[in-house]
Each structure stands twice: as structure tokens, then as C-alpha cells.
Amino acid sequence: MSFLSKRSVLEELERAKASKTKQWRDNLPTWCPGCGHFTGLHGLYEAVEKLKIPQKDFVVVSGIGCSGRFPFFIKGFGLHSLHGRALPMATGIKVANPALTVVVVGGDGDGVGIGGGHFPHAARSNFNLTYILLDNSIYGLTKGQISPTSPMGMKSGTSPYGNIARPINPTTLALAYGATFVARVFSRERDIVSDIITKAVQHKGFSFVHDLSPCVVFNKLVTYNSWNNMVEELPAEYDPQDRSKALALAESADPIYLGLFLQENRPSFDELSNRIKDELAQTA
């Protein structure tokens, strides 16, 4: 279990002291105790350590929101960009220097709200990026308004009579947009989150990780307990090669499936660009 009590926070701090990821830890995270984002951050620490990525070759880009603080908590290069603009910033960095490992972090409002127009183009272009979307179904930084993933009927400062808009499903969007690696995880499961993020960073192409990351302060409807009662691992026999099957499973609301929905080997933007450069060089 991840960060559900004062005792668990202290246990995590002790575990962190003994962790091999200490070299990646920078400023102490300032999220509220219990925030699901701690698990996503730790998963990224473990991924870059396992993959032995040099800090000078690593960049994390974030937008605005609680997740926007990621670059301050991890050593390496970082860019805290504008609201909804993390993906275009990251693609620019990757195009300028393809040798860098670039990870994008954003929330549900940042990624599928104001930044929703950038998502399909990053995915269909198959940029060699990892995009971690931390979904708490609320605008937490601005003290609790409904977001694009808030369930219908949810009451907040901007929906005092209940949300009447159908929520967006980021996992199905990633699949529909053509992402070549699509997974969904739950911040309760720290080791699984670390494993999936590691695989996502290893993947050549656009990898998307949808992390169900509860806000324990401002969202009293979508919680660890409510998600715990709804989530289920993908069937053991499931093969993440069929996009149509992946879409059907990602759409399920009862249960909400967790795991790797799709991994497809397709030339990345980097590879296709290099092919064009080579062809031009040969004809020059």
C-alpha cells in the first residue's frame, strides 16, 4: 500500500534512505501526505536507476498542476512548462536532441483538458517519449474543481449540483490516437507502477502510462477505496498486440482493468527522420 497513513509515510521515508535511487532524489516533495503522485515519482526514480540513464541525458517536462512539481523533485534536466503545453515542449526537446531520454508528466486537467489538443499529435507521430498522466479526477492545485475525468454527478465548487458532463477515458484516447505503448496503473501498487514505467521508458516510440493517482484532500468521491473496489488486473492470457481488443478492455468500467494494454513495434519519429536524412545524404 502506498502513502495511506502517517505510519506508511514514515516507512516509505526509511525505505527511501536505503534505496539505490538516492542519487536521483532532489528536493523533498511538497505534495499532501497520502497523494498518489508519490508512487509515480518513486516509479520514475526506480525506472531511471534500473535503466542506468545518465543524469546529463535525462529530461523531465511537466505542465501546471500538482504534478507540475515533478522536475523539482528529480535530478537531471527539467522544464516546468505552461498549462497544457508539456507535450509540445517535450517534442521540441526530443527533436533538437534525439539522444536524450525525455519523460513528460501531467495531470488529467493538464493532459486531456487544456492540453488535449496536443495529445493526439504526439501519439500519432510516435515521438520517442514517455508520457505519465497522473489522474486524480480533480483540479487539486486550485482546491478542488471538476476535471475532464471527474465522474458524472460529482459535486465541486464548479459543479455544485453535480457534474453533468461524461468523463474522458485517457487510456482509450491513447489507444485511439495511435500510441504504441499504452498502460494503466494504480498508485496503490508501487512495484507494478515502477515496472510499467520502466518498460515505458525502454519502449521505442510514444509510450503512455495512465496512473490512477488519488487526491486525498480535495476528492472525497474518487479515492483509494473507491478505485480499489473497481480495479482488476488484465486477464492473465491477454496479449497486448490487438488494438481493438485493447480498446474494448480499456472502455470497461466494471471492472476498470489495469496493466499493459498495447505494445506495438513501429518505427518512431526519430527513426523515420533518420531514414529521410540518410536518403537525402545519398542523393546529395
Residue 244: predicted pLDDT: 95
For residue 8, what is its C-alpha cell? 506508511
pTM comes to 0.91
* Ranges in the chain, pLDDT < 70: 1-20
Residue 1: predicted pLDDT: 36
Q: What is the mean pLDDT of the chain?
A: 91
For residue 192, what is its C-alpha cell? 507494478
6-283 has CATH 3.40.920.10 classification: no
| CA–CA gap between residue 215 and residue 261 (Å, rounded) | 25
For residue 6, what is its C-alpha cell? 502517517
Residue 15: predicted pLDDT: 60
* Per-residue pLDDT reduced to its tens digit, 30-42: 899 999 999 999 9
The residues, ordered by sequence, that sit 6+ positions from 109 with a Cβ below 8 Å of its Cβ are 65, 139, 147, 148
Residue 282: predicted pLDDT: 86
Residue 26: predicted pLDDT: 73
CB 62 within 8 A of CB 105: yes
Q: What is the DSSP string of 25-80?
A: B-SPP-SPTT-THHHHHHHHHHHHHHTT--GGGEEEEE-SSGGGGHHHHBSSEEEE
CA dist 156 to 115, 168, 216, Å? Answer: 22, 18, 15
- Strand 231-233 to 207-212 pairing: unpaired
Q: What does the chain come to in residues? A: 284
CA dist 3 to 12, 62, 187, 196, Å? Answer: 8, 23, 9, 19
Residue 31: predicted pLDDT: 92
Domain ranges of the chain: 6-283
CB 225 within 8 A of CB 147: no
The Cα angle at residue 78 between residues 76 and 81, in degrees rounded to 5: 175
Question: Helix (H, G, I), strand (E, B), or coil: what is residue 10?
Answer: helix
For residue 25, what is its C-alpha cell? 532524489
In 3D space, the residue among 69, 51, 43 whose CA is nearest the CA of residue 189 turns out to be 43
Q: What is the DSSP string of 165-204?
A: SPPP-HHHHHHHHT-SEEEEEETT-HHHHHHHHHHHHHSS
In 3D space, the residue among 219, 217, 111, 207 whose CA is nearest the CA of residue 168 turns out to be 111
Amino acid at the residue 176: A
CA dist 172 to 107, 132, 198, Å? Answer: 16, 15, 21
Radius of gyration of the chain (CA): 18
CB 76 within 8 A of CB 24: yes
| CA–CA gap between residue 118 and residue 99 (Å, rounded) | 22
